[in-house]
Amino acid sequence: MSPPDLKSQTSVPGLERGLKILRLFNRARPAINPPEMARELNIPRSTVHRLLQTLEEMGFLRRAESSGAYMLGPAVLSIGFDYLGSLDIVQLSNPVLSKLRDKIQCSAHLAVLNGTEIIYLSRHASPTALTSNVGVGTCLPAHATVMGRVLLSELSPAALRALYKDKPLERFTPKTPTTLAALERLLTEDRRLGYVMGASFYERGVTSVAAPVRDYSGKIIAAINVTIVDSLVDEKALYGSITSETCAAAAAISAMLGAPMPTTDAEDAPARPTKRPVA
């Protein structure tokens, strides 16, 4: 006799289905009709109706009178901000990122890894007219972003393969890796350098530099980056002050989290920024 499925014994179907409904919504899809939910989640319409009624009563969803479609409600936003506010790293990093933004005149961000995606926890927009359009809570694919590469760089090859098992690597620009082998080659170089620089890696026309934030154990728990529109990139500054200031800001946040001081061993220390083809 095969052993019982532990997940089936401990899961709560109603809760699981309700959360799956909430996860259907995103920036590109702000409103969804109940029949679509039932079809995509393979749930009976009567069950979907009961779940929607509960979620609406709790404020997690709201119904559009004109179309009958549902949208996310204010309760979702309050939970998100309560979560962000509970993270010390956000409060600790805000002054550092604000200073970094003002010093190099580039948008600065903080993100963490969530499965195969990164989640933006903090955004400090550039004072210039051209700025990053991502907001707090935005999720982007880790394999296609420089902060994602920073966050994936500590994973072993086995852990990386397990993470992306049966999950395709979507191409966003010609520079986005679409195979694990290609991603692993990039991560090997990222580990050697100690930072990541990418031009048109996720979004055409945007250059970004990212660096790791470490905790008291030395583990990478977050990443910061700065973004520059390609038309405004000064190569001397990019390979000089922009990269060095970004790495210094990441080190400052890490120090506040109790991270060990960087080693002075030349083999382990981050490579000095040098002009080279960016990913």
pTM for this prediction: 0.67
Dihedral sign, Cα of residue 112, residue 25, residue 62, residue 43: negative
Cβ atoms of residues 151 and 158 within 8 Å: no
Beta strand ranges found along 125-277 (DSSP E): 139-141, 196-199, 206-214, 220-229
Instruction: Give the residue-averaged pLDDT of 83-92.
Output: 72
Q: How confident is the model at residue 82 (pLDDT cuts 50, 70, 90)?
A: low
Residues 243 and 117 in one domain: yes
The number of beta carbons lying within 10 Å of the beta carbon of residue 164 is 19
What is the pLDDT at residue 265?
45
Instruction: Give the residue-averaged pLDDT of 168-186.
Output: 91
What is the pLDDT at residue 273?
53
Rounded (5°) CA angle 157-184-133: 120
Instruction: Specify if 262 maps to a domain.
Output: no
Domain boundary (78, 100, 125) is at 78
Residues 198 and 174 in one domain: yes
Dist. CA 240–CA 216, nearest whole Å: 28
CATH code of the domain covering residue 195: 3.30.450.40
Cβ atoms of residues 92 and 86 within 8 Å: no
Report the b/e string of 244-263 with b at 16+ CB within 10 A.
bbbbebbbbbbeebebeebe
Res. 263: pLDDT tops 70: no
Residues 229 and 194 in one domain: yes
Residues 65 and 131 in one domain: no
CATH code of the domain covering residue 60: 1.10.10.10
Instruction: Give the residue-averaged pLDDT of 79-108.
Output: 82
Helix, strand or coil for residue 161? helix
Range of the domain at 213: 87-256
**pLDDT digit string (tens) for 190-240?**
999 999 988 878 887 788 899 999 988 889 999 999 988 766 666 776 778
Cβ atoms of residues 15 and 58 within 8 Å: no
Token pair in block for residue 255? 């120090």
Residues 59 and 168 in one domain: no
The number of beta carbons lying within 10 Å of the beta carbon of residue 82 is 9
Q: Name the H helices within the chain.
A: 6-10, 13-22, 34-41, 45-57, 74-85, 88-104, 146-152, 157-163, 180-193, 235-237, 243-256
What is the pLDDT at residue 268?
45
Residues 155 and 251 in one domain: yes
Residues 213 and 178 in one domain: yes
What is the pLDDT at residue 262?
66
Q: How confident is the model at residue 148 (pLDDT cuts 50, 70, 90)?
A: very high
What is the pLDDT at residue 76?
82
Cβ atoms of residues 92 and 84 within 8 Å: no
Total tally of structural domains belonging to the chain: 2
Question: What percent of the chain has pLDDT above 90?
Answer: 49
